[in-house]
Amino acid sequence: MKQRSISPDSVLLIDAAKAAHINTVWERYDSQQPQCGFGETGLCCRHCLQGPCRIDPFGLTGPQFGICGADADTIVARGLARNIAAGTASHSAHAKHLAHTLLKYSRGQAPDYGIKDQTKFYAVLDRVGIHRDGKSNQELAGELAHLALDEFSEREAPPVWLKTTITPQRFEKFEKFGLIPEGLDSTVAEMMHRTTNGVDADAVNILLGAIKCAIGDYAGMYLATDLSDILFGTPTPIMARANLGVLKQDAINVAVHGHNPVLSEIIVAQAMAMRDEAIAAGAPGGFNLVGICCTGMEVMMRHGIPTATNSLSQELAIATGALDAAVVDYQCIMPSLPWAAKKFHTAIITTMSIAKMPGATHIEFDEKNAAAKAQEILRVAIEAFKKRDPARVNIPPIVNDAMAGISAEAVIKILALVNPDDPLKPLIDNIVNGNILGVCLFAGCNDVKVVQDQNFVELVKELVKENVLILCTGCASGSFARHGLLTPAATEKYAGPGLKAVLTALGNAAGLNAPLPLALHTGSCVDNTRAASIATALANKLGVDVSQLPVVATAPEAAMEKAISIGTWAVALGLPTHVGVVPPVTGSPLVVKVLTETAKELLGGYFIVEPDMKVAAQKMVAALKERRAGLGI
């Protein structure tokens, strides 16, 4: 049988899922073969009712223009731009939801929420220019929420969450090329308009617009992280566990799944409050909350809730026969979950008006009655638990430790233990002396086209041998957690000598009596801006731009449109950015050249598309060495 995953718990359950007649993502992928070659190269257009149109990629006897006259370059550029717009819309909607929650709190309409991190609250207020002047938290929260919501509408001033978080040099470059978004929603709307039939047909101009849209994505993600930290607390290092083995036979297992912590934070609190109710239902272990995907990352890094699995293998959590309920919000949730749940007793509970699924139980979440809604959800889980068949429980006996919650603020605090007067100096010194060759941000999803986790694990091992410091978010963090790479033991086993020395010194300074983990878990997918904030702080400290730093990014198993938008703003910020899955752009040599070469000339960042992880590591190490040479180190 074709290898599907290198995660041992996934391997154990794929056959179990098949035996239970669950049609998983891997079977559905096989059923789609062969996939459309035109679509894979980006040479397929479905943007009007006259199509779909396709271009002959070989330029032989097939069509070279769509019905409207669009050529290969235009069609590919339009398709990529729409991917970026969709990713930006997804992250921005997440941010807007948090802004509305903060606004409801300020009006006294969300009694179960409050300001969890006063220090972060004040820091954000100061950064965005809101004066405190003896105002109450609720008054200040209202001002901040209104300012955040203003970021979405078209306005003359640049987005505050962009201008105040990037280097002055980068802002000037964005202004020079007309890449400042007028508003987060308006830049998405503009992208959808200009890629419509009869509007923008200049591929390069379309790509510039797409980059502007992706810069809006950066601002929206930064905003979302800020508001999450204010409302729910800025993560600090915390030990947790990973793999499907975190499910328990003697507890009511409830998975929180999706991307937004507005609901999951309340679920965590109410699960603790309702423990006796769970025990009375026959579960001596009470409620056992686990995470799937980025909602799982949110509660992992703030509460130590274990992460069970991620987006690609979410169906396998049901195949254990032990999952009593999956509570979902939005993004990366497979519509197949209710079908799989029918084979077992699992309750699938949707909670958002924009994210319903046939076959699921819908309980509309409402911030005004958050605790009551969470209680209603947990009682559905109790009733599902009563239907569990113990004979069908098949929990893989695999669990790994994982350290999470290493936010940008946590990194600075750890560095301050070494040098309180100048926290960034130890990091800079170790980059200069070569103990750290550079820094790499791992992001992105799992992709069914890749053996699950293989690219993540192979690439990170290659990079750490070369003393590259690893930051990770989202499903990248989940992958590393499942393979025991978010641990001091992994540092001892895999890190190069310079990196090991640095992580050991920092771990000892932090009181661990052990190194920091091999990869530093900085948050969920929306938290990629945490890594960007560290890079910007380093650049400002050195008086250079981020495009000069030995910093790279990678999405080795990219799958979602959100990963495309993240990768594009990473390039816009000036980072060489690796993608391990070939995106649908190869049908246009012009688009490929702009993304991999021209972008470097204009912005400093560029895409490295390389499916072979050993070769990818070599290219990324070369990029880091090129940056070091440019700085004279």
Q: Is residue 8 within 8 Å of residue 396, measured between CB atoms? A: yes
Alpha-carbon gap, residue 327 to 254, rounded angstroms? 7
Distance CA 456, CA 458 (A): 6
Nearest alpha-carbon partner for 79 in 619, 587, 600: 587
Q: CB atoms < 10 A from the CB of 192, how many?
A: 17
Cα(279)–Cα(287) distance, rounded to whole angstroms?
8
Provide the pLDDT for residue 187: 95
Q: Name residues of the chain where pLDDT drops below 70.
A: 1
Question: Rounded distance, CA 180 to CA 216, Å?
Answer: 8
479: nearest Cα among 301, 243, 238, 295: 243
- Cα separation, 593 vs 596, in Å, equals 5
- Strands (DSSP E) contained in 361-517 are 361-362, 400-404, 438-442, 468-473
**CB burial of residue 281 (10 Å; 0-12, 13-18, 19+):** middle
Q: Give the strand pairing for 400-404 and 438-442.
A: unpaired
- Indicate where the chain has its CATH 3.40.50.2030 domain(s): 244-392, 403-631
Judged on CB neighbours under 10 Å (0-12, 13-18, 19+), 35 is exposed
The residues facing 349 across adjacent strands are 327, 361
CB atoms within 10 A of CB 419: 14
Cis peptide before 34 (omega within 30 of 0): yes
Peptide bond into 52 cis (omega under 30): yes
The model carries a pTM of 0.95
Q: What six digits make up the tokens of 516?
A: 């920091």
Q: In one letter, which amino acid is 285?
A: G
pLDDT score, position 1: 66
Q: Are 529 and 522 in contact (CB under 8 A)?
A: no
3-state secondary structure 574-619: CCEEEECCCCCCCCCHHHHHHHHHHHHHHHCCEEEECCCHHHHHHH
Neighbour-count burial for 423-458, b at 16+ CB within 10 Å, e otherwise? bbebbbebbeeebbbbbbbbbbbbbbebbbbbbbbb
Q: At what angle do helices 203-232 and 528-542 cross, to 10 degrees?
A: 100
Longest dimension (CA), the chain: 74
**pLDDT tens, position by position, 577-601:** 999 999 999 999 999 999 999 999 9
Rounded distance between C-alpha atoms, residue 573 and residue 447, angstroms: 25
244-392 folds as: Rossmann fold (3.40.50)
Chain region(s) in the chain for CATH 1.20.1270.30: 72-232
Got the DSSP string for 390-401?
A: GGG----S--EE
User: Would you tell me which CATH number, out of the four given (1.20.140.10, 1.10.357.20, 1.10.287.3510, 1.20.1270.30), belongs to the domain 72-232?
Assistant: 1.20.1270.30
- Give first-to-last CA distance, the chain, whole Å: 49
Q: Which CATH class is domain 403-631?
A: alpha beta
Number of C-beta neighbours around residue 461 at 10 A = 18
Give the Cα-Cα-Cα angle 38, 41, 46 (nearest 5 degrees).
55
Buried b (16+ CB within 10 A) or exposed e, 83-101: bbbbbbbbbbbbbbbbbbb
CA distance 6 to 437: 28
Determine phi and psi for 443, rounding to 5 degrees: -140, -170
456 CB-near residues (< 8 Å, 6+ apart)? 442, 476, 479, 480, 483, 556, 557
